[in-house]
Amino acid sequence: MKIILPDNSFKELPEGSTALDAAKSISLGLAQKAICAKVDGELFDLNEVLPEECKFEIVTKDSPDALHVLRHSAAHLMAQAIQHLYPGVQFAYGPATEDGFYYDMKLPTTISVEDFPAIEKEMQKIVSQNLEITRENLSEEEALKRFENQKYKTVHIHELAEKGASLSVYKQGDFQDLCLGPHVKSTKYIKAFKLMNTSACYFQGNKDNDSLTRIYGTAFFEKKDLDDYLKVLEERKEADHKRLGKELGLFMFSDFGPGLPFWLPNGMIVRHELESFLWDKLTEGGYSFLKTPQMLSRELWITSGHWKKYKENMYITKVDGKPYAIKPMNCPGAILVYQNDLHSYRELPIRYAEYGLDHRHEASGALNGLFRVRAFTQDDAHIFLAFDQIGSEIRRLLKLFGDVYKTFGLSYSIELSTRPEIFVGKISTWDKAEAELKECLEENGIPYEINEGDGAFYGPKLDFKIKDSLNRVWQCGTIQLDMQLPHRFHLTYTDKDGKKKEPVMLHRAIFGSFERFTGIIIENFKGAFPTWLNPEQVRILPVNNDEAVMKYAAAIEKKLKNKNVRVSIDDRNEKLNYKIREAQTKKVPYTIVIGNKEAESKNVTYRLYGHMDSKTVAENEFVKIIEKDIKERQVTRNY
């Protein structure tokens, strides 16, 4: 048998060799470090027999996939500890996740975070026993007998058997679990772990099934990595947009409309600034703005294909006895606008922008502040162009996206999703479009990854992954190349030769939605927005209520308001330190302290948010400082 190594070299092995045999043939030292293997791109247990010919790679703890394997093993470790402490527990599923792991189970008693220390202690005991973790393949009959007392495992065995999937068990000491693996070699590898929280869930996510308990945890190879992660979690808790949204008066929700955000006065200022900023950018870029109806008839959604794909998530009503749907997306409306006129090649590209309010019925359990809502406004655009204009338009869009994200201090990378198994159009057209997208990305030096086969059925797409100040990655922007909707709606333009041609359509959003992007930047800035975005930009604090002091404070307020600066005076009868602390709590960018000295000299003593020291400048100089800060949309403020 033959294996292909990462450097594309070949290695011959005896028939029936396992992944561990292959590792040893490469290097004994590498074999000792091996966690598992990667065979043809899939994680593979070290003791499994390799296929006749395959791509082969060893996974060590330094490999990107290693944490996934460790965390899967940690889920088994937790389950074993719970089995010791809560006899009679019924186990469902226990996968690894991006940040850790969880296990769903039916417990004989209620469990809470107060019980976690006892579970963790039992887990440490099992780790110290250095139990070997072994794999065993089973028939359906053997598996059913092995798990005859485990209700949910029995259901899973039947499901796997119906699909013709292989069945395997991983064992460690007195614990066994139905699992495909792979896992670490023994429990001693699971050194650093922490149980995080618990929640209720349904078996297989179906509300008609049994209610279960889900316990979440995380694990790392080293304690330092765990400690660093827990520190980051504390920072994220401090930056939580739901808490900050309430404290800063940005948005709220009501039980009268779950998932439907209410924008409060301060939040509307932030949103208005975002809308205005993007409006100016798009107007400069040759976009025309639309506003399309909030609901349209079923026939339109059938033609567009959304009725078949999104019906379950659409809000449907009747008008004059005919089915209508509140729009879940804006593209059909933009298409109707395009159809309203005849078009020539000379007009292309036609760029329609719309701040479109969309509604989608998300599951109640998925709702999460502004990150996941049922009503959201997309910063949508639909661009109609000729096929040979795709490259130039993508280049324009890449510059636009870069300029916008730079304004918020956000770095980003791009994921290029290519032709899926089920697609429409010619392969040659797809290949040409994908090649064009790659060329655009490479010539601009933008980091990107290929997501093979994950494009939309109507065309390839670019997804923009932005990284915030807490090193989290969010998907916000997208550019989708659509060669299907123009065909469905029989869109045309008159080409140079006088013949009718079908345009190509680009769907693009930069923020994604104003709701989600606002949530992201609340957490990115930890509520301390750049001055241009902040609902309150300056707060004036009179030291006393002397007439001269109050008169000068009012004069500064008036001058700043005349410059369209959002300013207020805190003239409450409170101590100055108390008012300074409150201004800092509310994350006001500039706090001005006015005393008798300032009133006499016509100077301004100001303090920046997050700074302990203050600076005194002439009144006119301060006005220039804040005007420059706002005009240039500076991300950070300096004295």
Catalytic residue positions? Answer: 331, 360, 378, 380, 382, 461, 507
Other CB atoms within 10 A of residue 637 CB: 17
Q: Which residue has the tokens 């390839």?
A: 460
Among candidate residues 189, 175, 178, the one with its CA nearest the CA of residue 66: 189
Q: Is 71 exposed, middle or buried (0-12, 13-18, 19+ CB in 10 A)?
A: buried
C-alpha 142 chain-centroid distance: 42
Residue 316: φ, ψ to 5°? -115, 140
Q: Is 573 exposed, middle or buried (0-12, 13-18, 19+ CB in 10 A)?
A: exposed
Contact 353, 287 (CB under 8 A): yes
Question: Quick one: which H or E segment has residue 144?
Answer: helix 140-146
Contact 343, 493 (CB under 8 A): yes
Alpha carbon distance 609, 529 (integer Å): 10
Q: Collapsing DSSP states into helix, strand and coil, what is residue 626?
A: helix
Alpha carbon distance 122, 82 (integer Å): 8
Give DSSP secondary structure letters for 467-513. E-TTS-EEEEEEEEEESSHHHHTT--EE-TTS-EEPPEEEEEESSS-
Specify which residues 91 forms β-bridges with: 105
Q: Which residue has the tokens 């290693």?
A: 66
Alpha carbon distance 553, 558 (integer Å): 9
What single DSSP character describes residue 50?
P
